[in-house]
Amino acid sequence: MAIWGACNEITDDTRNENLLAVSIPVWALFRLASTFRFYKDSIKFAPDEATVAVLRSGQSSRRELAGEAVTPIAPEDLDATLRKAGFVRRLNPLQIRNVLRLIRYSSAADFSVPGAGKTTEALAFFAAKRNPRDRVVVISPPNAFAPWEEQVELCFGVGALRVARLVGSPQVIQDTLTSEPDIALISYHKFTQDGAHRLVSAYIARHNTFVFLDESHKIKRGEDGAWGNAVLSVAHLPAYKLVLSGTPLPNSVSDLVAQMQFLHHEEDIDEQNVTQLIQPIFVRSTKGELPLPPLTRTSTPIPLTPGQRQLYDALSKSLKDEIRAVLSRRDRFAIRQLGKSALRLLKFVSNPALLIPDIQSTEADALRDVLLQDDSRKIDYAVKRARQLAAANQKCIIWSSFVANVEIIADRLQDLGAEYIHGEVSVGSEDDDTRERRIKQFHENPHRFVLVANPAAAGEAISLHRVCHHAIYVDRNFNAAQFLQSEDRIHRIGSDEPKFVEILIAPDTIDDDVNRSLTRKVAVMARVLDDASLRIDATYEDPDDDYDISEADLRDVLGEGTGEESPA
């Protein structure tokens, strides 16, 4: 019973198989090492050989954290080492610096800003350490598949390595893995599915495998999230591991915990020690180090109409009353549920008509009348601004968190060749009606002046900077990662044109609270990553993550923000 109790304190996934056997996830095993040693001496408890072998597998990882990294390659020898492995791309000085540091470890993190070349650095890490039969598994958002395929060809040459997407049924995935691709790409969502998870886990275990987590902040919920739980369950299997994210802590320092647990599953990691533990093993190229064009952010006030203001004040008062009641109880589940109520306010200030489907028959007809009577001033402004830019032969991207807004804006700008991207637009070949085709059209067709998108679908893994220099935000939510990454779609290496970001804000509404929350979160990230160039000051974050809300966010809504995250 003592062993059972210790296991149950570590994880809710503890199962009592019989009187003599307890089953727990492998990642939890390492945190029980000292417990096992105690009971081995006191009650003659003896873990089986498999358990002992797994515990031993963490010893080299622990040595790395203690500062005993792999013998480094001399800078002058890096190029020859990469060439010998078939890596043909020339690294720039920042990439050389980062790769030299990464390859000293078997598990490390690359937190460079978007556009700095994290994919190239990960592939160089692979090249420097690979043996001919080694394999790579990349877990990423599906948007990133095409960029990975492109970068593999640029780094190793066309046809040198075979890249395969793990999509479709378990049988299709099985057939793909049986063909032994050099690099396999799978989405976080697909990896959580039981059939795919078992097949890919077995594949990782069967080979000397590199596992790279792209946009690794997607697992920030750790055990509590489906994606994090699935990834952590295989943390003990890879020979080498990298986590890659330009926004590794979009909400707070605690977002780093699951990423660090993946890298060093044998350690007891929490938000109190994660910053210290991750410092030696991460690299970051900052915006201040990159040859980027100037970026100007402006905040444009778009006031509510009098009728909208009256209704907003009523909705806001109701939400604040809910928040105060929940914070007094410190109920973590209730705090998360309040995200839905905050979402109503975000919808309202973006486009009041978005609330019409939520109106219940018991609500006053006057409420429906207000929503139907006044159009969205933000959408009207964004449409007008896009037309002004098009008249000056300038393309723009318009961002909104809400699918209905994305389609409404694109429809109103059809005469400007507007394309839209949201979660229901599929990923795939440029020959079909996919995100890739629409992005290609936006790039190549001189008559397509507008792309409308939501950050959840298009905020990652696409580059627009060569043809688009203006971004307009109709709204933003509390997800700092989505804002930073979506902004970087136009602010990347490869264009000298100045960039302009315009954020539409309804004064004295939740827009101000969102701005305060995002500013606070980015400041925390800048401090942890020691990146003074990371800031979002303007002149004036998994689909179910989009409106994730914390206690600190709620205090921002109340106007009580402290500038720090409070433990929930």
| Chain centroid offset of residue 34 CA | 34
Hey, which residues does 213 pair with through a beta bridge? 139, 243
Query: What's the confidence (pLDDT) of residue 513?
Result: 92
Distance CA 349, CA 376 (A): 8
Q: If you search the block for the tokens 């402006």, which residue do you land on?
A: 298
Q: Which residue stretches of 330-402 are H helix?
A: 332-350, 365-373, 377-391
CATH of the domain spanning 70-285, picked from 3.40.50.280, 3.40.50.10810, 3.40.190.10, 3.40.50.2300? 3.40.50.10810
Query: What's the confidence (pLDDT) of residue 568?
Result: 29
The residue extents of the domains of the chain are: 2-57, 70-285, 375-558
- Within 13 Å and on the Cβ side, how many CA atoms surround 131? 7
SS3 472: strand
- State the DSSP H helix or E strand holding residue 175, giving kind and residue range, or none if neither: helix 170-178
- Within 13 Å and on the Cβ side, how many CA atoms surround 346? 25
- State the DSSP H helix or E strand holding residue 155, giving kind and residue range, or none if neither: helix 145-156
Hey, which residues does 445 pair with through a beta bridge? none
Crossing angle for the helix pair 170-178 and 194-206, nearest 10 degrees? 10
What totals of helices (H) and strands (E) does the chain contain, helices first? 25, 15
Tens digits of pLDDT across the chain (568 residues): 566 566 666 666 677 666 666 666 655 665 555 555 555 454 445 555 555 555 555 555 666 665 556 667 888 899 999 999 999 999 999 999 999 999 999 999 999 999 899 999 999 999 999 998 999 999 999 989 989 999 999 999 999 999 999 999 999 999 999 999 999 999 999 999 999 999 999 999 999 999 999 999 999 999 989 999 999 999 999 999 999 999 999 989 999 999 999 999 888 899 999 999 999 999 999 999 999 999 999 999 999 998 889 889 988 888 888 878 777 776 666 777 777 788 889 999 999 989 887 765 445 565 666 666 778 999 999 999 999 999 999 999 999 999 999 999 999 999 999 999 998 998 877 667 888 899 999 999 999 999 999 998 888 878 999 999 999 999 999 999 999 999 999 999 889 999 999 999 999 999 999 999 999 999 999 999 999 998 887 554 333 344 466 777 777 776 655 444 333 2
Task: Tell me whether the CATH fold assigned to 70-285 matches the one assigned to 375-558.
Answer: yes
Query: What's the confidence (pLDDT) of residue 396?
Result: 98
Please provide the size of the chain in residues.
Answer: 568
| Best CA proximity match to 452, nearest among 411, 415, 493, 509 | 411
Phi then psi for residue 83, to 5 deg, are -60, -40
CATH of the domain spanning 375-558, picked from 2.120.10.10, 3.40.309.10, 3.40.50.300, 3.10.180.10? 3.40.50.300
Distance CA 365, CA 417 (A): 38
For residue 448, give both structure tokens. 């397509």
SS3 536: coil
